[in-house]
Amino acid sequence: MKIMAINAGSSSLKFSLIDMDNKEVLLSGVFERIGIEGSNYTLKNKDFKIRQEEELTDHYSAVKILMEKITELKIITSLEEIDGIGHRVVHGSDVYSKSVVITDKVLEDIIKFSDLAPLHNPANVLGIKAFKEALPNTPMVAVFDTAFHQTMEKKDYLYPVPIKWYEEYNVRKYGFHGTSHCYIAKRISEIKEKDNLRIISCHLGNGGSVTAIKDGKCIDTSMGFTPLAGIMMGSRSGDIDPSIIPYVMEKYGKSAGEVIDDLNKKSGFLGISEISNDTRDVLEAMADGNEKCSLAVDMFVKSVVKYIAQYYVELGGCDVIAFAAGIGENNNLIRLKIMESLAALGVIADIEANNTNREEKKISSKDSKIECWVIPTDEELMIAMDTVELIK
């Protein structure tokens, strides 16, 4: 079966076409700056990479070009070869605890949940509608970022605020990066050949989250009502005292929306280093002696370690700590700092193994009480796997 995995943003469209018989990526790419001057697309597979400037007025024009190119490049001979399309959808509220075939009712719900993810769900809807127009007879599946976390208990997902906020307006912890954490849990179970594992999954990228997983199910996660909560990130603050918001509003004459925007886009690595939200830039400046960049790295490590320690207690111990995403897969220095900070839990790094990036590998020593692994996450494959299951 050939499955298209789609991740639509407000001005972008990422995709992978995967042959699920052998898990081969036939074509992947991204359409960028949709509806903005300077729009372009990149298409690639094992044999080629094409980058083309192209006017992309909307998601429909991007999908139209993709459908033309996919046959023109002889990736497939007919669009009918695409058996299903899986769409990443950020928010499924507490209604969807698993992936579902997209019906008119499901699409209505995704639109309805837009007030919970105003930057993401409307963009996801655009992608769904564009592919529905281009391939009206191809079944489509919604894979929710929040779904994996719906196994949390009330004591873990409720906030200690007036309970009417939850009962009337759905104020609760939802968690995100669920597709990635789900993939990591499944992959660790395959490696260890057992399901009854206690896993702490660290999805560390420009956005990041830490999740406690027991017997394949999420019991707690660091992100909350929105992706702003939890660990420090590229440009997001992570957890802060909420009283800071009205204080800063008064001191700087800002609105609540402007302060939230600062916490989302001007904080984290960027806010502390004052250089970049990209850890590569921060580490380069740190190596040159920049103290603010060194501070930013130390703060990031501490924020991750704090959640790992908390989840170690919640899980009653831990079998595997897994590192994934841009930082988790590619930054051996930060991984090492995290592991060294967990010495009290019996974590011992294998320095040589940890020095290798971008590959699935155990990076803790044989004497470590907790195994540490790098697991390159594959959200596209996870989306495709869920799509296959549902359209069969």
Q: Are 225 and 94 in contact (CB under 8 A)?
A: no
Catalytic residue list contains 145 = yes
Is the model's pLDDT at 119 over the cut of 80?
Answer: no
Contact yes or no for 39/30 (Cβ under 8 A): no
Confidence class of residue 107 from pLDDT cuts 50, 70 and 90? very high
Q: Closest Cα partner for 186 from 388, 381, 390?
A: 381
In this structure, the number of other CB atoms found within 10 A of the CB of residue 181 comes to 30
Q: Are 94 and 72 in contact (CB under 8 A)?
A: no
The per-residue pLDDT for 343 is 96
Q: Each residue of 129-165: pLDDT tens digit?
A: 999 998 999 999 999 999 999 999 999 999 999 999 9
Residues 109-115, mean pLDDT to the nearest whole number: 90
Q: What is the pLDDT of residue 267?
A: 94
- Spell out the domain ranges in the chain: 2-144, 193-379
Tell me if 307 sits within 8 A of 210, measured CB to CB.
Answer: yes
Provide the angle, in degrees to the nearest 10, between the axes of the packed helices 332-341 and 291-315. 50
Above pLDDT 70, what percent of the chain? 100
Which residue in the block uniquely carries the two structure tokens 């980058």? 51
pLDDT for res 210: 98
Q: Which residues pair with 321 in a beta bridge?
A: 200, 372
- Token reading at 242: 């909420």
Q: How much is the mean pLDDT over the chain?
A: 93
Whether the predicted pLDDT of 99 surpasses 90: yes
Given the candidates 3.30.465.10, 1.10.10.10, 3.30.420.40, 3.40.50.2020, the CATH classification of the domain at 2-144 is: 3.30.420.40
- pLDDT grade for 182, boundaries at 50, 70 and 90: very high
Do domains 2-144 and 193-379 share one topology? The answer is yes
pLDDT confidence bin for 115, thresholds 50/70/90: confident
CATH superfamily of this structure's domain 193-379: ATPase, nucleotide binding domain (3.30.420.40)
pTM over 0.75: yes
What's the pLDDT tens digit per position in 2-12?
999 998 887 88
Residues 6+ apart with CB under 8 A from 317: 198
Burial class (CB in 10 A: 0-12, 13-18, 19+), 298: middle
Q: Choosing from 104, 115, 145, 386, which is the catalytic residue?
A: 145
pLDDT attached to residue 123: 86
The residues facing 371 across adjacent strands are 320
85 contacts 140 by C-beta, under 8 angstroms:
yes
